[in-house]
Amino acid sequence: MEIGFIGLGAMGEPMARNLLRAGHTLKVYNRTRSRAEALAGSGVTLVNTPAAACTAGVVATMMADDRAMEEVVFGEDGVLQGLPSGGVHVSHSTISTDLSRRLAEAHRRKGQSFVAAPVFGRPDAAQAARLVVVAAGPSEAVERCRPVLEAIGRKLFVIGPEAPAAHTFKLAGNFLIVSMLETLGEAFALLRKSGVDPASFLEILNGSLFQSPLYENYGKMVVEQRYEPPGFKLRLGLKDVRLVLAAAEEAAAPMPLASLIHDNLLSGVAQGMGEYDWSAVARVAAQKAGLKG
């Protein structure tokens, strides 16, 4: 099928390539045109506005934050303007639940559908089409887009008809991941200061208690103090924790650990770690313990 794709960053670009491999044709838009030009070739049409990417009736967006999403949707020559009645906007971005509700309502008023389909996975998983996709929205719209959603990932979960639920799901999932990074950092700082090898600790723990690729992969990064190149930047992790706290306040669900992690991520940004991988929150824990790295 022909679809539009807006947002060709570290995640969006490999997702778009996988759609091409699956036989779809794309109209692509990116604010930095050179990123779009890298996709030029069979099955790709470059367009100059978000609206022009929407003419086929289905458009996917992968934006960095709420502000970027608002610009491409509500701005001049934006998605709302270009998507025809009956069209579907699929959002893969991690955005606030408030914006998700506003998008769903804005599209409904225009006779369009909004499907939230955030993804779990880093750029390497995006390249390998191994993302986990969590989708929510009107059932007919979700089923219309199922071939697109299945082309970018290894698993697709449809959790209901209300789009904001998928974004709440994604924020809660990211909170669990960053909480793991915080506890890894604190535990490894304790081990290092006590003369215990963190690598052996990780091998034993992941081989007996957790057996999780997240613990294994992130644990190795922290053990090796390898925070570049980033799979997911620390400053974006800070953004996500801000969104978690906003959702928690709206739901009257206290999340004291999220508040602590927010401050540690903010400390990392203040110390120049914003462009590092978000696992560098472990470096903040190490520094607080008087350790280097």
Residues tagged active-site = 170
Look at residue 77 and give its three-state secondary structure. Answer: coil
Whole-number Å distance between alpha carbons of 270 and 225 = 19
What residues contact residue 94 under an 8 Å CB cut-off, 6+ apart?
A: 118, 167, 170, 171, 174, 240, 243
Question: Which residue intervals of the chain are DSSP H helices?
Answer: 12-21, 33-37, 66-74, 79-82, 97-109, 123-127, 139-151, 163-193, 198-205, 213-223, 234-251, 256-270, 281-288
What residues contact residue 159 under an 8 Å CB cut-off, 6+ apart?
A: 134, 135, 136, 165, 166, 169
Whole-number Å distance between alpha carbons of 111 and 101 = 15
Whole-number Å distance between alpha carbons of 144 and 117 = 13
Q: How many CA atoms lie within 13 A of 20 on its CB side?
A: 18
How long, in residues, is the chain? 293
CA angle 29, 32, 34 (to 5 degrees): 90
b/e map of 10-34 (b: 16 or more CB within 10 Å)?
Answer: bbbbbbbbbbbeeebebbbbbeeee
